[in-house]
Structure 1
Amino acid sequence: MSDYSYFCGIDLAKNHFSIHAVDQHGKVLLHKSVTRSKLLTTIANMPPMRIGVEACGGAHYWARTLRKFGHDARIMAVKYVTPYRSKGKNDLNDAVAICEAVQRPTTRFVPVKSPEQQAILSVHRMREHWVRERTALMNRIRALLSEFGLIIPVGRASLMRLVPDMLENPENELPNLARATLADAFEHLKSLNQNIDNTEITFDAFAKVSTNVQRIMKVRGIGPQTATAILASIGNGAQFDKSRDFSAWLGLVPKQYSTGGKPRLGRITKHGDKYLRTLLVHGARTVIANLGDKQDRLSQWCRGVLERRGMNRAVVALAAKNARIIWSLIHNQTEYENYSA
């Protein structure tokens, strides 16, 4: 039974917010939409409530702010709200569904992130954006140069080395207008490279002052980027009951379709945070690609899976294993023991 006698659902938006509040008997206390400037005034005049909001942009900020007024603000994924929307979709009906979902014992909530966690994640999000932009820009430069018969081998290093020579070579058939345009694009590419390098410096600096990041980085295949992203995303991992729950949340466990007592397992679900899953998989791939003749226990385990199941399955298996280890390290505050031989 909930400790609160009042429940509220708020459908967040940019300037207009819909609110639906009820008591423990289902009696409607409030059902209206307010502007951004009046939201806190309206909520401040209400008794302590359990307030539900959907996970979206600004949800963590509003949850922290609402908690300052003595309310129990909780964030939930949209999939937990949709089943409780019984009428047409509009803002007020969404607020009703959120209010209903926040009362259910089976609803799983997203831990409210601190400003520091969001700051670290903002660096990761910008790095992810810059990497995508850099890839697109390199492909564009490569394609435009090929229009003039100037071919660049595959790889970023080749492009960074050859483009300046092509732009300065007066003997190729590159028109001055195209030369100037590509020179601007190349300067932008260099600035993107610098931005991405600066994020690596930020990750390294944070790793030096964070005990938890240092603890996570002892796991093979985990560097500052992966460690900071995981720590900023899940905190101490208290939202997961066990390590496998964290691995399942990342989508690193097989998809299950079982019936009649016959278990059927398929490919991994790929649920959850794609960015974290990608980092773990890339780290695991690096470990397996560099096994060499290492004979420690982890290397022998990886080699056994590799021989039985192939490269890709071995990579995912190690990524899932690392996820479970990481959860245990940060949740139980234990140290990683890298057993050898």
Structure 2
Amino acid sequence: MSDINIIGIDIGKNLFHLIAHDRKGNEIFRKKLNRAKSIQFLSTLEPTIIAMEACCGAHWLARKCQEFGHDVKLIPPQYVKPYVKTNKNDFIDADAIAEAAMRPKMRFVSPKSEQAQIGVLIRRIRSGYIRERTTCMNRIGSILLEFGLSFPRGYHHMKNLLQWLAEQKEPIPPMVIAEVTNLLDYYHLLNKWVAEQERKLDEINKDNDLMDLLQGIPGVGPMTASCCLSAVGEPKDFKNGRNFSAWIGLVPHQYSTGGKSKMLGISKRGNKELRELFVHAARSVMWRDKSAEHYFGSWLLELKRRKPFNVAVVALANKLARIAWAVMSNHKPFELRN
């Protein structure tokens, strides 16, 4: 066991597949263990490098391995795939993980803290409630349309639904009214649950100074700030703000060959939720010319005149993401340049 340089682990729901390599890349052992025995085995090893894909359960296991003194390396799954040899099975995956982790230019993911994972969980549940709320609204609209009524779009119309129904001249069967009322009660319950999730996010981030610093960026609110804090384990994982923006997917997709450079649309890689929030933040700034000029000068207004609105929005979202990285890295507030 003293010759172990790195252990690659392929994580499963119940079984973990482990392969150990020495410094020359030769295999020392391979083991298939259940979850409990894997933790017990890792706790008995001398500190070494543990490599895993950054997938479901990886951050929890990474924290466990760090408690045992191991050096943990989490790799994005797309970077492991080129090292998978011949057919695919769990041991081959573990071997590929160990080999990929030893490449000198490999990129790694910092393990998330427990609080950051809780933040991700709360936001995902909130997003699910919002989707269900939209579905509930569409269901109400489709029911009424079946009986000759076209209910107006928008959340602000839902609070006056019953009054709107009473004002319609088209008669509606009592059972339909009862079903719509039940759906309306469910809609109000979803609103309550969404507000509760937002309260929980405020609670877990109330002692984090970066939460207030990030909200000092134009257009960035509590949801974008909390998403940054939970999605980014360590800002220093990114060399600069552009790398962070590229990780979100806000930079052009490049297809260059034969000495000819070709830039396409944004790559849309990485964290979809964070990219969406930064685009919404940019849109909120773009709608107000005075705010846009106050924070970003003539650059943004000229861009808005030269380019389509959505193109300018994405360009501003890119800039906001870079600013957010700088704030998280330096722990300093956003300041206007004179």
Calculate the TM-score normalised by the size of structure 2.
Answer: 0.92
Aligned with 1:212: secondary structure?
helix
Shift of 1:84: 1.1
Q: 1:130 to 1:299 in 2, by over 3 A?
A: farther
Partner of 2:107: 108
Separation in 2 of the partners of 1:209 and 1:47? 36
Aligned with 1:166: secondary structure?
helix
Separation in 1 of the partners of 2:33 and 2:91? 11
Partner of 2:33: 34
Q: Given that residues 291 and 299 in structure 1 are in contact (C-alpha distance below 8 angstroms), is that contact kept between their aligned partners in structure 2?
A: no
Q: 1:11 to 1:149 in 2, by over 3 A?
A: same
- Decide which of 232, 238, 241 is 1:240's aligned counterpart: 238
Q: Given that residues 8 and 51 in structure 1 are in contact (C-alpha distance below 8 angstroms), is that contact kept between their aligned partners in structure 2?
A: yes
Cα deviation 1:19-74 (Å, max 9, x = unaligned): 11121123322212111121112222333221111122111000100111121122
Q: Which amino acid aligns with 2:56?
A: G
Q: 1:49 to 1:294 in 2, by over 3 A?
A: closer
Partner of 1:298: 296
Partner of 2:248: 250
Q: 1:96 to 1:195 in 2, by over 3 A?
A: same
Partner of 1:289: 287
Q: Is 1:139 aligned to residue 131 of structure 2?
A: no
Q: 1:119 to 1:58 in 2, by over 3 A?
A: same
Separation in 1 of the partners of 2:25 and 2:44? 19
Separation in 1 of the partners of 2:22 and 2:337? 56
Shift of 1:262: 2.7
Shift of 1:286: 1.0
- How high is the sequence identity, in percent, across the aligned residues? 38
Q: Is 1:156 aligned to residue 155 of structure 2?
A: yes
Q: Is 1:11 aligned to residue 16 of structure 2?
A: no
Q: Given that residues 167 and 183 in structure 1 are in contact (C-alpha distance below 8 angstroms), is that contact kept between their aligned partners in structure 2?
A: no
Q: Which amino acid aligns with 1:305?
A: L
Q: Given that residues 75 and 112 in structure 1 are in contact (C-alpha distance below 8 angstroms), is that contact kept between their aligned partners in structure 2?
A: yes
Separation in 1 of the partners of 2:10 and 2:278? 34
Greater mean alpha carbon deviation, residues 69-78 or residues 256-265:
256-265
Q: Which amino acid aligns with 1:32?
A: K
Runs of 4+ in 1 over 6 A off after TM superposition: 167-171
**How many residues are matched?**
336
- Decide which of 300, 321, 327 is 1:323's aligned counterpart: 321
Q: Given that residues 52 and 97 in structure 2 are in contact (C-alpha distance below 8 angstroms), is that contact kept between their aligned partners in structure 1?
A: yes
- Decide which of 300, 311, 314 is 2:312's aligned counterpart: 314
Q: Given that residues 10 and 52 in structure 1 are in contact (C-alpha distance below 8 angstroms), is that contact kept between their aligned partners in structure 2?
A: yes
Q: Is 1:44 aligned to residue 33 of structure 2?
A: no
Q: Given that residues 166 and 172 in structure 1 are in contact (C-alpha distance below 8 angstroms), is that contact kept between their aligned partners in structure 2?
A: no
Cα deviation 1:260-292 (Å, max 9, x = unaligned): 333211111111100000000011011101225
Q: Given that residues 23 and 29 in structure 1 are in contact (C-alpha distance below 8 angstroms), is that contact kept between their aligned partners in structure 2?
A: yes
Shift of 1:245: 0.5
Partner of 1:337: 335
Q: Which amino acid aligns with 1:45?
A: T
Calculate the TM-score normalised by the size of structure 1.
Answer: 0.91
Partner of 1:99: 98
* Alignment root-mean-square deviation, CA: 2.3
Q: What does 1:210-225 correspond to in 2, within 5 Å?
A: 210-225=208-223
Q: Which amino acid aligns with 1:233?
A: A
Q: Which amino acid aligns with 1:290?
A: R
Shift of 1:209: 3.1
Aligned with 2:116: secondary structure?
helix
Q: 1:292 to 1:333 in 2, by over 3 A?
A: closer
Q: Is 1:273 aligned to residue 261 of structure 2?
A: no
Cα deviation 1:122-170 (Å, max 9, x = unaligned): 1211111111111112111111121112221111111332146538999
Aligned with 2:6: secondary structure?
strand
Separation in 1 of the partners of 2:167 and 2:28? 72
